[in-house]
Amino acid sequence: MRRSHTISVSIDRPFDEVYDYLGKPANYQHWAAVEPGTLRPLDNGDWKGDTSYGPRHFRFSPPNDFGVLDHAIFVPGGEVLYTPMRVMRNGRGTELTFTFFQREGMDDVKFASTVEWINTDFLTLKSLLEARNRA
């Protein structure tokens, strides 16, 4: 069993707005570790974009009524790395949770560094969405 870490972020925006934004794969490049302008849809429903680790493919959950935003990151022919992500109503706001699993061959230092990096991505997302509140 792999070590895991779950990140939870409260976002002061309505659930429907947060889910709608996160449910559009093209928005991923505005807050996550994808080089802006490189994320594009593929004919099979997956997406492709450049990351600091090189080109990656992404597979996103279909739209649903449960706040499930799971996605997978992979190199074609390689291990598919699933990442569970959920949004839940939290009063008039939204709670986002994301679970990261330690990858094969990833030492504890790299795991901790990656968790910090993901936290930064989600703080960027929070700021991006909450800035709409002030506009």
Residues 80-130 pLDDT 10s? 989 999 999 999 999 999 999 998 899 999 999 999 999 999 999 999 999
Which element (helix H / strand E) includes 30?
A: none
Q: Determine the pLDDT at residue 33.
A: 86
Assign 112 to helix, strand or coil: helix
Interatomic CA distance for residues 113 and 47, integer angstroms: 26
Q: With a cut of 60, say whether residue 135 has pLDDT above it.
A: no
Whether 72 shows a pLDDT value over 70: the answer reads yes
Which CATH entry fits the domain spanning 4-134: 3.30.530.20, 2.60.40.3880, 3.90.1200.10, 1.25.60.10? 3.30.530.20
Q: Which residues pair with 50 in a beta bridge?
A: 55
Burial of 78 (0-12, 13-18, 19+ CB in 10 A): exposed
Q: What integer pLDDT is reported at residue 104 of this predicted model? A: 87
The one-letter code for the residue type at 118 is: I
Query: Is residue 133 predicted with pLDDT exceeding 80?
Result: no
Spans of all domains in the chain: 4-134
pLDDT tens-digit map of 30-70: 999 899 999 999 999 999 999 988 999 999 999 999 999 99
